[in-house]
Amino acid sequence: MKPILSPSILTADFTRLGDTIQMINNSSADWIHLDIMDGVYVPNISFGFPVIESIKKIASKPLDVHLMIEDADRYINRFRDAGADILTVHYEACVHLQRTLANIRALGMKAGVALNPHTPVMLLKNLLRYTDMVLIMTVNPGFGGQTFVEESWSKIAEMRRMIDESGYDILIQVDGGVDLSNAVKLVETGVNVLVAGNTVFGSPDPAATIEKFVKLF
């Protein structure tokens, strides 16, 4: 399976957000990654429903929505209505995670669960049947442009083994410090979905950088 590229717009120029979405539409990227932060679960605030709704109006690719928020259950319906296609919640922020994942699926979205760098992958063993994607955070969540946490390599490999042994069809996504130098190794280790933010939007030509990622595979 060819890896999926999901550019994160967190570090894009928000004064030209419409142009950015059209650029991704016209590129070889597969998804559009949206980081939602509440200033409580993580020490940063990004954007909310009006921005997602506006993006959905012009996006031709699935919206990959990553919730870094407390009490995500309160808003699942609203994220679906705003246009989320894949909705990922954090293991650490959900008290009743099985119910949360089941509700996401029941509303017609793909259900993802994210793990912070310190959270063991084994904690998901009994939840895999409710999960469409596992997001392994390779930086601590909250800000773009951070350095890849090296201990993530063993976590990715362990998650890949666990999924393969389970027999379930589950994607592994990584977010944080993904660049052109480690993308191939990440995929070889078991990653299916690459989230690239600062590498894409911190470059002089984001569209060309997306194509460089795609040409690696």
In this prediction, residue 204 carries a pLDDT of 96
Delineate the domains of the chain, giving CATH numbers in brackets.
4-215 (3.20.20.70)
Nearest 5°: the CA angle 140, 215, 155 is 30
- Catalytic-labelled residue, pool 30, 38, 132, 175: 175
In this prediction, residue 147 carries a pLDDT of 79
Q: What span, in angstroms and rounded, lies between the C-alpha atoms of 106 and 79?
A: 13
Q: Averaged over 173-190, what is the pLDDT? A: 95
Query: 145-149, 154-158, 204-208, 211-215 — which is least confidently predicted?
Result: 145-149
Is 19 annotated as catalytic? no
CB 194 within 8 A of CB 183: yes
Q: What span, in angstroms and rounded, lies between the C-alpha atoms of 99 and 101?
A: 6
In this prediction, residue 43 carries a pLDDT of 85
Proportion of the chain above pLDDT 90, given as a percent: 90
Residue with structure tokens 């109006």? 57
Name the residue with higher pLDDT: 144 or 167. Answer: 167
- Catalytic-labelled residue, pool 19, 30, 35, 205: 35
**pTM passes above 0.85:** yes
3-state secondary structure of 23: helix
Q: Averaged over 66-78, what is the pLDDT? A: 96
Is 13 annotated as catalytic? no
In this prediction, residue 146 carries a pLDDT of 67
29 residue type, one letter: A
Q: Averaged over 199-208, what is the pLDDT? A: 96
